C-alpha cells in the first residue's frame, strides 16, 4: 500500500498549522508515530469507484497508524455475508436505506452499523442527454432495444431495477442485462461516442457523470427512492479486537465533494492508491479529526 505523499510544502502560517504537523517540520502525515504494531485488518469492498475510493483512503489512514490492511474485492452479497460471519472486518460501502436495504434487513442484526460517512448518494436509470425526448421512466418505449444495461446481479440498484420493471407497465417486456460495472461503462462509452441510445443503471458518485453528459430519468413511482447515505459497518467483536481501528472507522466522515474528488482522480489515473494518497496529503486536518480519538486511546493504554 502506498504511503502518504512526502515533502509536502507548508504554505500557511505556522499559527494555523495543526499540532500534528508542527510535531515534524515538513512531514505531511497526520501522525508521526504508530499507534499499533502491525495488527492485521481486512476491509471488504466492491468494484464501484466510490467503494474503491473510500476504502483506499481509510485503509491508508489505518496503515499510517500501524495497521497491516488487506483490501478484498467481493460482490455485494458476499461482502455482507462475510461481515455477518466474521470472515472480514469492516466495509465502508453500504448504501442505505434503499440500495442495500435488503442486505441490511437480512444481516443487520449480525453486524454493527457505525452510521453514515457520506451523504447525498443517488441511484436511478440514466441516459445520455442527447436522448432529448426521454425524461421519465414512463417515457421508455422501444428505445435502446428495450434493454437496461445493468451491473452485477445482487447489487441493490439491480434489485430496484427489477422492481421498476414490475411497477412500470411500459417496462413489462424490457430486459435487465447483467454485467460487471466495467462492462456497463464500456458499453456506455461505445454507444455514447456513436450517439446511440442506451439506458443504464446509474449512481452518484461516479465518474461517468463527469465523463459523459447524462441525466437521470424521473421516477414518479419513487422506486429508486430518495437520496441515500453511504455507511460504515464492522463485524461483531471488532471493537474489542481492534479498539483503535474501530475509533478511526467510527469517526470516518467526509463530504460528497471529498469522495467525488477521489473518484474523479481514480477514473483519470486508474490508480486508487494514488488517488487516495493525493487526497490524504491535501486534507490532513480532516484526517486528524478521524484519528484524534484513536490517539487518545493509544495514549491511555500506554
Give the domain-ending residue among 216, 243, 276.
Answer: 216
pLDDT at 30: 57
Average pLDDT per 10 consecutive residues for the chain, totaling 302 residues: 36 36 44 84 94 98 98 94 98 93 96 97 96 98 98 91 98 96 95 98 88 96 94 98 98 94 92 97 97 93 74
User: What CA–CA distances, in Å, run from 72 to 13, 45, 89, 263?
Assistant: 41, 6, 10, 18
In which domain, by residue range, is 126 found? 122-216
- CATH label of the domain that carries residue 261: 3.40.190.10
pTM of the model: 0.72
pLDDT reported for residue 33? 72
Please identify, among 216, 251, 279, the residue that sits at the C-terminal boundary of a domain.
Answer: 216
Cβ-Cβ contacts under 8 Å for 11 (sequence gap 6 or more): none
Do 79 and 127 belong to one domain?
A: no
What pLDDT is stored for residue 4 in this prediction? 35
Domain boundary residue among 216, 239, 270? Answer: 216
Q: How far apart are CA 162 and CA 107, in angstroms?
A: 21
- Which pLDDT score, from 0 to 100, does residue 246 have? 99
**Angstrom distance (rounded) from CA 83 to CA 80:** 5
Amino acid at each position: 500500500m502506498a504511503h502518504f505523499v512526502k515533502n509536502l510544502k507548508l504554505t500557511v502560517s505556522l499559527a494555523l498549522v495543526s499540532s500534528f504537523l508542527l510535531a515534524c517540520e515538513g512531514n505531511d502525515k497526520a501522525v508521526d508515530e504508530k499507534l499499533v504494531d502491525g495488527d492485521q485488518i481486512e476491509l471488504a469492498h466492491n468494484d464501484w469507484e466510490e467503494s474503491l475510493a473510500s476504502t483506499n483512503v481509510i485503509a491508508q489512514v489505518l496503515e499510517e497508524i500501524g495497521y497491516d490492511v488487506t483490501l478484498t474485492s467481493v460482490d455485494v452479497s458476499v461482502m455482507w455475508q462475510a461481515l455477518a460471519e466474521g470472515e472480514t472486518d469492516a466495509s465502508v460501502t453500504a448504501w442505505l436505506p434503499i440500495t442495500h436495504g435488503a442486505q441490511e434487513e437480512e444481516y443487520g442484526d449480525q453486524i454493527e452499523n457505525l452510521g453514515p460517512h457520506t451523504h447525498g448518494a443517488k441511484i436511478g436509470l440514466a441516459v445520455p442527454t442527447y436522448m432529448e425526448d426521454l425524461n421519465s421512466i414512463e417515457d421508455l418505449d422501444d428505445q435502446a432495444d428495450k434493454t437496461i444495461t445493468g451491473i452485477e446481479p445482487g447489487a441493490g440498484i439491480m434489485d430496484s431495477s427489477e422492481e421498476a420493471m414490475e411497477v412500470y407497465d411500459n417496462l413489462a417486456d424490457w430486459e435487465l442485462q447483467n454485467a460487471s460495472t466495467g462492462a456497463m461503462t464500456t458499453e456506455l462509452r461505445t454507444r455514447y461516442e456513436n450517439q446511440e441510445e442506451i439506458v443504464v443503471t446509474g449512481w452518484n458518485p461516479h465518474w461517468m457523470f463527469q465523463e459523459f453528459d447524462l441525466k437521470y430519468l424521473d421516477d414518479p413511482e419513487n422506486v429508486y427512492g430518495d437520496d441515500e447515505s453511504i455507511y460504515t459497518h464492522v463485524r461483531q467483536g471488532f471493537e474489542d479486537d481492534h479498539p483503535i481501528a474501530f475509533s478511526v472507522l467510527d469517526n470516518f466522515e467526509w463530504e460528497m465533494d471529498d469522495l467525488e474528488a477521489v473518484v474523479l482522480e481514480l477514473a483519470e489515473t486508474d490508480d486508487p492508491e494514488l488517488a487516495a494518497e493525493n487526497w490524504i496529503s491535501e486534507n490532513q486536518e480532516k484526517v486528524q479529526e478521524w484519528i484524534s480519538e484513536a490517539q487518545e486511546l493509544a495514549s491511555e493504554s500506554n
